[in-house]
Chain A
Amino acid sequence: MSSRVCRTCGGSDIDVDQARGSAVCTGCGSVLEDNIIVSEVQFVEGSGGVSSAVGQFVSADGPVKAPLLGSGFHTGVGKESRAQTLQNGKRQIQQLGSQLQLNQHCLDTAFNFFKLVVSKHLTRGRRTEHVIAACLYLVCRTEGTPHMLLDLSDLLQVNVYILGKTFLLLARELCINAPAIDPCLYIPRFAHMLEFGDKNHEVSMTALRLVQRMKRDWMHTGRRPSGLCGAALLVAARMHKFRRSVKDVIGVVKVCQTTLRKRLTEFEDTPTSQLTIDEFMRVDLEQECDPPSFTAGQHKVKMQQLEQELARKLDEVEGEISCYKEEIETELEKSRPKLRGIYAAYAKEMDPEDEDVLSSPSDPEDKEGDDADLQAAAQRLTQDFLCQVIQEEGGRAPQEVETEGAGLPAQGASLASILGNASLGLQESFHTFNLPEPDQNPDEDPSPSGELDLEGIDDQEIDKYILNEKEVEVKTELWTKQNADYLKEQKEKEERITKEKEQGTYKEKKKKYKKREQIEAATAGEAIEKMLERKKISSKINYDVLRDLNQPAGSPASEPPGGAAAAPRKRLSRRRRKAGDANAELSAGATMMTKRFRRLISSTPRKKKAAPQVETAVVTETASEAVPEAPPAAVPGPAPAEAPPPVETEEEEEAAEEDCVSALRLVGDYGCEEEEVF
């Protein structure tokens, strides 16, 4: 500053007068500066003698582009939109908050959260009312008010889980640690709603004690706090001789009957439930219980073990029983009167069959239905055969009969043994032997492109999964019945379309998005122009300035846009800075950077290596992390950004490679000083 040392006499004693705005050297008296720009608040007298300060309030995150491209801009465009969003949000917060009876301080805090959310662009793609509700709930949690997420969802008629999702996301993004819900918070509120009159306070205290006891008994982890409160209040009410039915309580607490009953049962299992009312109020048991689901799990495991043991014992016992059975039968045999002559021969034939047929039902692995049928069928077969044989036997010698008869029991035995053996494979073979085989076709060649490897796949098993004709009919009927409404709608729609087509009024409401044509442009500047034109982001952009961006800059960049150009990448140059600024605020004007846009921008540098700045600036704008600067001389390679979105990385890498070349060149060309990066 020249006011340090006087130009004429060299004296350093300079008197700066703020009021007159002049700097004078006290030594020689020469005026060094006149009309110094002062930054003081000025006051103006308004009507009625009221003096007010001159100036306007400018918000910190307001219009970013206002002071920069000076030539005749409308600065009101971007600000309005943001201000409107905030205003709208504030209104909704007030509305919803008053319904919840939140005080003004909470509402203000909620509005602050909302401002944070908007500035982080988290409102995009979400309904404003969801976001508002989440902000309000965040405040409720941090302040510890007895409001549940359920209340909010009731007011908005929105699913709790959707609200919960939004809330969790916001809490994570804003790095706000909401303290865990304590069921004790809800007790006074519910007690009030249950109208205990004078004794409200006492009942609340009792209920509180109960809840604390439940907490120590590990009943509260993983459960909705409202359920516990409901159970505690019910018990407390009864203790103080108030008659509150389960229905009253669930109406207030908003859980279902089953849950309440379950909580009561769990509490019953704890040793505290055995105490009398007085004892409970006085004494606190030391012992703590395991959580109920844990005990239930253990219980289950024990039951399973018991069952296994029982099953084992049953098997043993069965074994014994069958031994006894056999012994009894042999005894009976011996004691039966013996047949003589031919009849003896027949008896011998019949017996082994009967035994085999009889022994098969006792096989524990039988599938009852199938086997019974098969047995009956086999029995009939053998009986038919026997009848035939007996008829023939009349004309034949007994020896032949014997041999045939001997053959018979063998066959009968084999049939019965097949029946008796109920393992899957044998049953299948029986099936395949008797029933018409549907699967005649051999393995079809899989389509050559598909290459479905059939190794390890059991074809017969697959066949079982496929339904046969009758089952297909049944299923089709079932399905049509279930989906009758939908099918009706479809039919009506089709009829409507055909009618309209006949009338000629049918408008094809195709939701197909036309493929956007590739923008062909010679330079990056042109490309941006064309894109902006098409997208209709703003007709107020000065294209001349845009075009000038690509030329070597005359004037250095003035103050860079605050916040918008968070430039974490280490590509610096004067040229770039200016381009970065201009483009950054351009894209700040443009709402969302689409992938296409980015790719578009990056595609042009591929054609022309000389102009990668545009893309870098654009890329830098969307990134919101701040990485410390680095001198251009030390631009080695691609910046290792922390968590770059995938599209950007590939662009960065391309750009970075180009950077290595052009940055060095630039450094050589311009000899830039270090510039501050945001």
Chain B
Amino acid sequence: MDCCEEAKLGARRLARCLQKLGFKVRFSAFRVVNVLAVCSMPFAVHLVDFTKNNRPIASYEPELHPAATYRIKNLKATVQVFSTGSLTVTGPNVQSVASAVEHIYPLLYECQKPRCK
């Protein structure tokens, strides 16, 4: 089942719970506002180089957060890149999240760390 439908189902179950407890329940205008997805690259990423290459769009502050944040304006999606190659993508809908990953893949590929083992 599509994850958005699952979310709606979950919300309905909760409403049903409240209903059973005796509250008057109204379920209307359900809307998915934010989608969060995780994925992982098969390679590790060098965050400092990545930030240097994508200067204003990407920001990396190791004192604050271990990941580099890349905000895609036209998709309104944010990608957090970790040095292990894992990504966390947030966006307003599933489509934007998917496009964000496609967008960022070539940029990450350039700054990948050579694997040694």
A residues whose Cβ falls under 8 Å from a Cβ of B: 148-150, 160-161, 164, 168, 171-172, 175, 177, 180-181, 218, 221-226, 287-291, 293-294, 297, 444, 446-447, 449-454, 456-457, 459, 461-463, 465-466
Contacts and interface: CB of A to CB of B under 8 A. Distances in A.
Interface string B55-89: 11001111110110000000000000011110000
B83 A180 contact: no
A457 B9 contact: yes
Nearest to A459: B16
B62 A223 contact: yes
Q: Nearest 4 A-B pairs (CB), nearest first?
A: A222-B66, A450-B26, A221-B83, A164-B64
B116 A288 contact: yes
Contacts of B13: 457, 461-462
A452 B59 contact: no
B19 A452 contact: yes
Contacts of B9: 456-457
Interface of B: 9, 12-13, 15-17, 19-21, 24-28, 44, 46-48, 51-52, 55-56, 59-64, 66-67, 82-85, 113-117
A453 B26 CA distance: 10
Contacts of B61: 164, 168
A462 B20 contact: yes
A290 B28 contact: no
Given A218-B113, A291-B83, A452-B12, A181 B46 contact: no
Nearest to B71: A172
Contacts of B62: 180-181, 221-225
B28 A223 contact: no
A447 B28 CA distance: 12
B63 A164 contact: yes
A293 B12 contact: no
Given A164-B63, A452-B16, A466-B20, A222 B83 contact: yes
Contact of B56 (A172, A218, A450): A172
A149 B12 contact: no
A446 B25 contact: yes
Given A218-B113, A457-B9, A180 B64 contact: no
A453 B12 contact: yes
Given A294-B44, A462-B16, A447 B24 contact: yes
25 contacts: A149-B63, A168-B61, A172-B59, A175-B56, A177-B56, A180-B52, A180-B62, A221-B62, A222-B83, A224-B63, A291-B44, A291-B84, A291-B113, A294-B44, A450-B25, A450-B26, A450-B27, A452-B15, A452-B25, A452-B26, A452-B27, A454-B16, A457-B12, A459-B16, A463-B20
